[in-house]
Amino acid sequence: MANKYKYFVGNWKMFGNFSSLKMINSVNYHINKIKKKEIKVIFCIPNILINHFSKKLKNTKILIGAQNCHYLQDAGPYTGSVNANMIKNAGAKYVILGHSENRIEGDTDEIINKKIKSAINNNLKVIFCIGENLLEKNKNLTNKILLKQINKGLNSINTLKKIIIAYEPVWSIGTGKIPKFEELNKTVFYIRKKLSKKFKDKKTVNILYGGSVNSKNVVQLNSIKGINGFLIGGASQSKKKFIDIIKNCYM
């Protein structure tokens, strides 16, 4: 069992500027028309926009998050890096950690674990990404990879109250391909089973799906009971596409 909310998380990646606030305001206008109250809409935006957007959206239903952070909590000689304390101070409520694009750039499971602990210590909620690549999938290693990422990424963490799991098959991101229904259903069940075994607070297990989510396939994706929402990449950069995704979950 998970909590009552359906999550719609936009990962803007390297996209957006100060004028992009208009797009989020439009999303806010449309979600206010949806009678369902159990909706959480989060935009994880570039760091330079966090402070401005969080202030402007303070009295709305939109929450702001960051896309990554350094694992150190204190200041240090890391040019260009931003730690959890900084993004929290800027106004972020959430942070994406473990995204495959950051793993490719050197984020190991051990580094991600340090980042998660730092984020939690700074009262940020974590969107923790896990997922297998195409080679691992073809070798039937999906479950093994996911379990390793869960065990190492969440090492020495005792609760999931501030953690949301985002299952993002690496081979699906930006490709337009998504897992088959039965395949995804089994994978989500496996993730939930392992998390429920590892953590006592089973009611707080929230699992998002990410990877080429659009307004058409979200209807089928939303029918999988174990999925509590979506981590949306490219489609979150368009107000129409993002709004249509939300609308189609409540048809």
Q: What is the DSSP string of 93-129?
A: SEEEES-HHHHHTT--HHHHHHHHHHHHHTT-EEEEE
Chain centroid to Cα 209, Å, comes to 8
Look-up of token digits 């949306």: 232
Catalytic residue among 70, 101, 132, 168: 168
101 is catalytic: no
- Residues 195-215 as b/e (b if ≥16 CB within 10 A, e otherwise) read beeebeeeebbbbbbbbbbbb
Q: What is the DSSP string of 33-76?
A: T-----EEEEEE--HHHHHHHHHHTTTSSEEEEES--BS-SS--
Catalytic residue among 70, 99, 101, 132: 99
Could you tell me the two tokens for 240? 């129409």
Look-up of token digits 């990422």: 149
70 is catalytic: no
Three-state SS string over 182-239 comes to HHHHHHHHHHHHHHHHHCCCHHHCCEEEECCCCCCCHHHHHCCCCCCEEEECHHHHCH
3-state secondary structure of 165: strand
Could you tell me the two tokens for 226? 């174990």
Residues catalogued as catalytic: 99, 168
